[in-house]
Amino acid sequence: MTDSNTPWWKTATGYQIYPRSFCDSNGDGIGDIPGIVSRLDHLADLGIGFVWLSPVYASPMRDNGYDIADYYAIAPEFGTLDDFDALVAEAAARQIRIVMDLVVNHCSSDHTWFRKACESRDCPEHEYFYWRDPRPDGSPPDDQRACFGGSAWHWVPAIGRYCYCHFGPQQPDLNWHNPALRTEIYNMMNWWLDRGIGGFRMDVIELVGKDIDARHYYEGPDMHRFIQEMHRECLAGRDIVTIGESWSVTPGTALDYCGRDRGELNMVFSFNHIQAAWDPAKGRFGPNLFDLPTHKKILADWQSALAEDGWNSLYLSNHDLPRPVSHYADDGVHRVRSAKMLAAVTYLMKGTPFIFQGEEIGMTNARFERLDQFQDIETLGQFREVMAAGGSVEEFLAGANANARDHARTPVQWTADTWAGFSTSEPWMALNPNYREINVAADRADPDGVFAWYRKLVRLRRALPVVVEGTFEMLLPEHPSVLCYVRTLGPTRLLVLGSYSADPVTLPPAALPEGNWDLLLTNVGDIAHVAIPTSLPPFFAGVWLDVSARKTTPTRQAAESALPS
C-alpha cells in the first residue's frame, strides 16, 4: 500500500457522471440524483473513490447544465438540495466522495445577475459581465466567433451594447476582473465545500483570466492570479481535490497550474492527446486523425513533465468526447478486448484515472443517420457554421458521427429491458440500439467482461505502490500499433503492453526489457504466468510483474490479492 502521506486522490480512481444520462428514478426520461443514489452500489463494486458530477445546478439546459441560472439551487429535473445531501451521505457511506463541476467562466443568461445587468448600466451586476459598444455601423466590436457558432458578441438592445459570450449566446462570460464578482464566486464555492463535497472539476478554468481587448482568451494574463486567490479564499486547508479543465495547457505550462508550491490546483485535464486526432481546420467535426506514435509521444511528454511534481489525470473519455472503443480501437468483433486494452494502457500510467459512465462496460458510439438526431448545442451550432461556409451535409455528418459530443450522452445501458433500465419511459435522448447486447447486467454477469477487468485495474492501483508511485518509461516509442511502458519503484517493475492493431503483431524478441516477467492480467484467454509473447493477437493487452522482485517485496501477493479469480 502507498504511505499515509499520499493524498487520497492519487490512489483513488474517479468516475464521471453526466446526470441527465445516468439513471432516471421518476420516469420522466431524464436522469436524476435519486437515480444516481440507486446505482451507488455499482460504483462501489467498481471500487472508485470519487465521482466527478457534471452540473446539477438550476439551468435552462441549453448546454445541459453548463449554463447555470442559480448556483445555490438544484435543477428540478435532477431533484432537490435534500436529494443532493442524501447523495453525498450515501456515497460517503461507500467511501466515495462527490466532486462537483464548477462552471464559473460564464453563467446562463437566465441568471438573476444577467437579467439585472440587462436592465441598467448602473447596477453592480452590470459589471459582472464584459460589455463593449458597437462599431459605428452597429456591428459587433470584433469578428471573434463563439465556440457554438455565430459571433461571440451578443447584442442587448435594452442596454445598447454587446456582451461577450465565448460559448453560446445564452452563456455570457463572467467578468473575473471585477473583485465583487469573484467574491460572489468564492462565497458560493465555500457554501458547497461546507456541504461536504469532495472538491471541484473546474470548467474551462483557462478562460477566467482572459483579456478580450487583446483577444487573449486562453491562459490569459490574470488566470494564475485568480486561481491563487481562489485557492486562498476557498481551497487551502481542505481535504479536497481540484482538477482544472484547460484546452490550452501543455506539458510546459502544466506545473504553473498544479505544481506543489503553486497554491492553485491538484491536476489539470489537458486535451493535447485528444486534439492531436482532430483535423486542424475542422476540429472535432473533421476526420479522425488518430495516430498511435503521436499519441504515445504526447502521453510520454506529460508523464515526464509531471514525473516529480504536479500530478496527471488519465482519461480517454468524458461527456464531450466519443466512446473510446469506437474512436481508438474496435467497437465490433473485438469490442470487449479493445475496451480492456485501452483501459489497461491508459490507467496504469502515473496519475489518477477518470472513468466516464458506461466506459466500464465498453459502451460504443451511437449511429446517427440524420442531423435531427443530434441534440448538442455545439453540434447544431457548428453545423450552421459549416453550412454557412459552404460545407457539405454529408461531410459534416461523417465528422459528427465520428466525434460529436452526443455520443457520450446516450443513456447508460443498465439492462436489456425496455429503455435499457435507464428509465420506465422514453429517455430524453435515443438509446444506442445495441443496449440489448451491451448493458451493465449482461457485462457484469460475465466474469471475463469489461466491468470485471476495470474492477481488477482499480484494485491493482490500490494494491501495488508501483502503479501510484513508480517512474514511467515509454518503450517502443516509434512502433506504429503497440503501446508499451514500464513502471519502476525500487526493485519492483510492472510492464504494460497493448496492441491497437486489428491484425496480429509480431514484436522483435529484443524489443522488450530483460526480466523474469510474470503475467498478472491479459485480455486474451488466461495465459497464466507466461513470459511476454512476441506474437500479439489483435487488440492484445497484458500486464506483467517482474518476479525477480518477488524475493524482496510482497508485490506478487499484493497483486494476487487485488486480482480475485
- Cite the active site residues: 203, 245
Q: DSSP letter for 319, please.
A: T
Report whether 330 contacts 340 (CB < 8 A).
no
From candidates 173, 206, 264, 320, binder to ligand TEU by CB under 6 A: 320
8 binds, among Ca ion, ligand TEU, none (CB under 5 to 8 A by kind): none
Q: Which of 484, 453, 491, 486 lies closest to 467, judged by CA?
A: 486
> For residues 354 and 14, is the Cβ–Cβ distance under 8 A?
yes
Q: For the residues of 83-101, what is the DSSP string, one character each?
A: HHHHHHHHHHTTT-EEEEE
Q: 470 by DSSP, 3-state: which?
A: coil
Q: Is 147 in the site for ligand TEU (CB under 6 A)?
A: yes
- CB of 21 or CB of 151, closer to Ca ion: 21
Could you tell which of ligand TEU, Ca ion, none binds residue 283, using a CB distance below 5 to 8 A set by kind?
Answer: ligand TEU
Mark residue 124 as left, alpha or beta (left: phi above 0; alpha: psi -120 to 50; beta: remaining).
alpha
Helix or strand run (H / E) with residue 292: helix 292-305
Out of 24, 32, 330, 378, which residue is the one contacting ligand TEU (CB under 6 A)?
A: 378
Give the span between the Cα atoms of 452 and 47, in whole angstroms. 11
Q: Does 66 bind ligand TEU (CB under 6 A)?
A: yes
Phi, psi (deg, nearest 5) at residue 300: -65, -40
Q: Is 218 in the site for ligand TEU (CB under 6 A)?
A: no
Closest to ligand TEU by CB, 206 vs 546, is 206
> Segment near Ca ion (CB under 5 A), from 26-34, 313-321, 344-352, 470-478?
26-34
State the residue number with the nearest CB to ligand TEU: 66
Cell numbers 490546483 correspond to: 265
CB of residue 354 to Ca ion, shortest distance in Å: 25
| Shortest reach from residue 77's CB to Ca ion, in Å | 6
For the CB of residue 251, give the shortest distance to Ca ion in the complex, in Å. Answer: 42
- H or E, element range at 381: helix 377-388
CB of 378 to ligand TEU, least distance (A): 5
> What residue 330 binds from Ca ion, ligand TEU, none (CB within 5 to 8 A, per partner kind)?
none
| 226, 228, 232, 234 alpha-carbon torsion, rounded to 10° | 60
Residue 30 as a binder of Ca ion (CB under 5 A): the answer is yes
Pick from 20, 23, 32, 431: which binds Ca ion (CB under 5 A)? 32
Give the shortest CB-364-to-ligand TEU separation in angstroms: 20
Q: Which does 349 bind (CB under 5 to 8 A by kind): Ca ion, ligand TEU, none?
A: none
Dihedral sign for Cα 205, 206, 208, 212, please: negative
Choose which of 284, 337, 350, 409 interacts with ligand TEU (CB under 6 A): 284
Q: Please state the closest distance from residue 561 (CB atom) to Ca ion, in A.
A: 40
The C-alpha cell of 517 is what? 516477467
Instruction: Report if residue 206 touches ligand TEU, rule: CB under 6 A.
Output: no
Q: What Å distances lie between residue 419 and 27, 416, 436, 442, 462, CA to CA? A: 10, 8, 10, 15, 36
Sign of the Cα torsion 162, 164, 166, 167 reads negative
- Residue written as cell 464559473? 104
Residue from 131, 162, 167, 500 touching ligand TEU (CB under 6 A): that is: 167
From residue 204 to residue 223, what is the string marking binding to Ca ion with x (rule CB under 5 A)? --------------------
Query: Which residues in this chain contact Ca ion in the complex, by CB under 5 A?
Result: 24, 26, 28, 30, 32
Binding site for ligand TEU (CB under 6 A): 63, 66, 103, 147, 167, 203-204, 247, 283-284, 319-320, 378
